[in-house]
Chain A
Amino acid sequence: MNAAPGLVTESGQDARSLVIRDLVKEYRRNKPVLRGINLTIAGHGLTAVIGPSGTGKSTLLRCINRLVEPTSGEIKFMGQDLARLRGRQLREARRRIGMVFQEYNLVERLTVMENLLSGRLGYVPVWRAWLRKFPQADIDRAFGLLDAVGLERVALRRADALSGGQRQRVGIARAIMQEPDLILADEPTSSLDPKTSVEIMEILSRLAGERDIPVIVNIHNVGLAKRFAQRVVGMTGGHVVYDGPPDGLTDADLKAIYGGENWLDERP
């Protein structure tokens, strides 16, 4: 590992690193979507997971914060096996992991500010959330993040009044509000136009980079993956078939990941 300021544990890995061992997920018996994934993600930098639709990228990401229950395997993070946590422990582990969604998943009828503050719901008592009496530190941080993503003027606008790009900025800011030790982004740009996609990836990598939060992004746009990721993981059929730097990704690798080759000629 290079000069990242992350803490180093006795095992030689930084504190925020994620270790996935033999992860299997079957939605139906004996039809695994993930067939024994082994990955170690460093505690800094942006890792892109690429692969065709339906290959288990989203399942992999959702197994990490247990929106999907893994069938077997280990997910070691911050000294815990996330795959074994239950109840309160699981909730407390989830607070450390921010998530950005393809469809933004904002609460549409709440304001931008309320959506940002909902990133703190794991920490704020229920009655405070209900009365909107969030700690001043949270409100200050929310305003700071709104400035950082360029949404300071729409803080009091309802989320359903925003454009797709603006909504995803709120989604990213909400994830950062958690002060997470890891950010999972599930196809964050797939519902957006190409220009907005680049802007969203820039914001995501900048905000996470400034805070040295490791990010795992599912993305099917190979160009964006190469541009923003320090590491690319290629998946196909529930296996990892490429794992390395974006520069090392050859046409042969892409063919192995996506199958076929005619589509390669049409890349810009």
Chain B
Amino acid sequence: MSTVGTAIDREWVRFTPAQRLGRYALYLAAVIAIVWSFRTIEIIPEFLYDSPQQIADLFVRMWPMDWSYFGEAVWASLIETLHIATLGTILSLFFAVPLGLVAARNLTPVPVLNWFAHFLFVTSRSVNSLVWALLFVAIFGPGPLAGTLAIAFRSIGFVGKLFGEALEEANQGSIEALVAAGAPKRSQILMGYWPQVRPAFWSIALFRWDINIRESAVLGLVGAGGIGVALDTALNLLYWDQVAVVLLTIFAVVVLAELVVTAIRQRAL
């Protein structure tokens, strides 16, 4: 039959000519960007040449580490850092959950409100925690309160956006059944959406807490409390043996937080 002949004659190509052209254009653009950036980066060779000595010198000055500094200042400020991260995360949830409900298009079918919630998320996310911290230090003065609020406001966008997306991905069939049973909106949220997004919610909150431990460690550089204050003091006094203690402590805490979050996710979620 003729079908055999036509089957051989036919040809399958993955991309249309237009798609192929577009891909080549993209490759070319990438190469141009790399070449261009090498020409404008302005590396100063003198700095580059003696950098090994500089780094080695830094490490020499860090050793031996001054562990007495740990008991003096690091421990207390470490606890403060954990408080800032945890309270900041919890505070952010109170703002992010309602905003996430407003941002989810299936739950709030009002484009203006969706847009407004997303606008707040972008605002929250586009401002760095350090900048938020500067703002709150200006309002409340230096200290952990400014740090906590900075962490909270920086987290609203992250948690709210991801929570809103989780809500949008909830199975609509289950919700439809509750609508058909005459359930009011709030019951739909509590009995339909919440059971579906609960694992995602806790996962997002834990993830953000993990990030906030790291972010709150540097807030002290602008006077917003936490272990960063100890780091700042040591840096200003050029006590590199103390700086080393602080850096090692931050590293240990970040690793520990990572382990805790992973363990909780595996066990409970």
Residues in chain A within 8 A of chain B (CB atoms): 65, 67, 91-95, 97-99, 101, 103-110, 114, 118-122, 124, 126, 129-130, 171, 174, 178
Contacts and interface: CB of A to CB of B under 8 A. Distances in A.
A257 B183 CA distance: 37
A126 B187 CA distance: 5
Nearest to B171: A108
B182 A99 contact: no
Nearest to A94: B182
A130 B177 CA distance: 17
Chain B interface, >50% SS class: helix
Contact of B180 (A65, A108, A129): A65
7 contacts: A67-B180, A99-B177, A105-B174, A118-B192, A121-B181, A129-B190, A174-B181
Contacts of A109: 195-196, 198
Lowest 9 A-B CB distances belong to which pairs? Answer: A122-B182, A121-B183, A95-B182, A94-B182, A105-B177, A105-B173, A99-B180, A109-B195, A121-B187
Given A105-B173, A105-B176, 9 more contacts: A67-B176, A67-B180, A91-B184, A94-B179, A99-B181, A110-B195, A121-B187, A122-B183, A130-B190
Contacts of B182: 91-95, 121-122, 178
Contacts of B188: 121
Interface string B174-206: 101111111110111011100110100000000
A110 B188 CA distance: 13
Given A91-B184, A121-B182, A121-B183, A106 B177 contact: yes
B187 to A, nearest CB: 4
Contacts of B171: 108
A95 B181 contact: yes
A98 B182 CA distance: 9
A181 to B, nearest CB: 12
Contacts of B183: 91, 118, 121-122
Interface of B: 171, 173-174, 176-184, 186-188, 190-192, 195-196, 198
A107 B187 contact: no
Nearest to A131: B190
Contacts of A124: 187
Contact of A94 (B181, B186, B192): B181
A174 B173 CA distance: 14
Contact of A107 (B179, B180, B184, B195): B195
A126 B191 CA distance: 9
A104 B173 CA distance: 8
Contact of A101 (B177, B192, B198): B177
A94 B176 CA distance: 12
Contacts of B179: 67, 94
Contacts of B186: 126
Contacts of A107: 174, 177-178, 191-192, 195-196
Contacts of B184: 91, 121-122, 126
B193 to A, nearest CB: 9
A108 B196 contact: yes
Given A103-B173, A108-B171, A121 B196 contact: no
A126 B180 contact: no
**Most chain B beta-carbon neighbours within 10 Å: one of A98, A104, A122:** A122
Given A94-B182, A118-B183, A126-B186, A110 B177 contact: no
**Most chain A beta-carbon neighbours within 10 Å: one of B174, B196, B198:** B174
B188 to A, nearest CB: 8
A105 B178 CA distance: 9
Nearest to A97: B180
Contacts of B174: 105-108
Contacts of B173: 101, 103-105
Contacts of B181: 94-95, 98-99, 118-122, 174, 178
A121 B191 contact: yes
Contacts of A105: 173-174, 176-177
B110 to A, nearest CB: 16
Nearest to A120: B181
Contacts of A122: 181-184
